[in-house]
Amino acid sequence: MAFELNGKTYETDEEGYLVNLSDWNEDVAKYLAQQEGVNLTDAHWEVINFLRDYYNEFQIAPAVRVLTKAIGKKLGPEKGNSQYLYELFPYGPAKQACKIAGLPKPTGCV
Amino acid sequence: MLHIVNKSPYDRPALNSVLATAEGGTILLIEDGVFAAVKGGAEEAKVKAAMAKFKFYALQSDLEARGMADRVIDGVTVTDYAGFVDLVAEHKTCQSWL
Amino acid sequence: MTTKKFMMVNRKAPYGTIYAWEALEVVLIAAAFEQDVSLAFLDDGVYQLKKGHNTKAIETKAFEKTWGALEDYDITKLYVAQESLAERGLTADDLAVPVEVLSRAEIGKLMEEQDVILSF
CB within 8 Å: A107 and C62: no
Q: Which CATH number fits the domain that encloses residue B33?
A: 3.40.1260.10
Q: Which residues of B touch C (CB under 8 A)?
A: 1, 13, 17, 20-23, 92-98
- How sure is the predictor about A93, in pLDDT bands with cuts at 50, 70 and 90? confident
Residues 6 or more apart whose CB falls under 8 angstroms from that of C71 comprise: none
For chain C, domains (ranges, CATH) are 5-119 (3.40.1260.10)
Average pLDDT over residues C25-50: 94
Q: Which residues of C touch B (CB under 8 A)?
A: 9, 11-12, 19, 42-43, 81, 83, 104-105, 107-109, 111-112, 114-117, 119-120
Residue B57: phi, psi to the nearest 5? -125, 150
CA distance B96 to chain C (A): 6
Of C109, C115, C119, the CB nearest to B95: C119
3-state SS string for chain C? CCCCEEEEEECCCCCCCCHHHHHHHHHHHHHHCCCEEEEEECHHHHHHHECCCCCCCCCCCCHHHHHHHCCCCCCCEEEEEHHHHHHCCCCHHHECCCCEEECHHHHHHHHHCCCEEEEC
Of C61, C65, C72, the CB nearest to A70: C72
The burial class, CB within 10 Å (0-12 / 13-18 / 19+), for C32 is: buried
Q: What is the pLDDT of residues B5-49, one digit of tens each?
A: 999 999 999 999 999 999 999 999 999 999 999 999 999 999 999
The pLDDT value recorded for residue A110 is 52
Average pLDDT over residues A49-53: 95
The pLDDT value recorded for residue C1 is 74
Q: What is the pLDDT of residues B54-94, one digit of tens each?
A: 999 999 999 999 999 999 999 999 999 999 999 999 999 99
The pLDDT value recorded for residue C22 is 93
Which of chain C's residues have a Cβ under 8 Å away from the Cβ of B21? 42, 81, 104-105, 107-108, 111
Of A54, A60, A69, the CB nearest to C28: A60
pLDDT at A95 over 90: no
The pLDDT value recorded for residue C62 is 83
Q: Which CATH number fits the domain that encloses residue A71?
A: 1.10.10.370
The burial class, CB within 10 Å (0-12 / 13-18 / 19+), for A98 is: buried
Domain that holds residue B80: 2-97
Q: Which residues of A touch C (CB under 8 A)?
A: 54, 57-60, 62-63, 65-66, 69-70, 107-109
Q: How many domains does chain B have?
A: 1
Average pLDDT over residues A71-77: 93
CB within 8 Å: C28 and A107: yes
Q: Which of A13, A60, A109, A110 is catalytic?
A: A109
Q: What is the pLDDT of residues C93-102, one digit of tens each?
A: 999 999 999 9
Average pLDDT over residues C28-35: 88
CB within 8 Å: C111 and B23: no
Q: Of all residues in chain A, what percent carry a pLDDT higher than 70?
A: 97
3-state SS string for A5-73? ECCEEEEECCCCCECCHHHCCHHHHHHHHHHHCCCCCHHHHHHHHHHHHHHHHHCCCCCHHHHHHHHHH
CB within 8 Å: C112 and B20: no
What chains are in contact with A, requiring at least 3 Cβ pairs below 8 Å?
Answer: C
- How sure is the predictor about A65, in pLDDT bands with cuts at 50, 70 and 90? confident
Packing angle of the helix pair C104-112, B14-21 (nearest 10 deg): 80
The pLDDT value recorded for residue C83 is 98
- A98 as an active site residue: the answer is no
- Residue B46, SS3 per DSSP: helix
For residues B24 and A41, give the distance between their C-alpha atoms in angstroms, rounded to a whole number: 61
Domain that holds residue A33: 1-110
Q: What is the pLDDT of residues C45-92, one digit of tens each?
A: 999 999 999 888 998 888 888 999 999 999 999 999 999 999 999 999
The pLDDT value recorded for residue A109 is 61
For residues A20 and A14, give the distance between their C-alpha atoms in angstroms, rounded to a whole number: 14
Residue C110: phi, psi to the nearest 5? -60, -35
- Tell me which amino acid residue C75 is: I
Count of beta carbons in the 10 Å neighbourhood of residue C103: 13
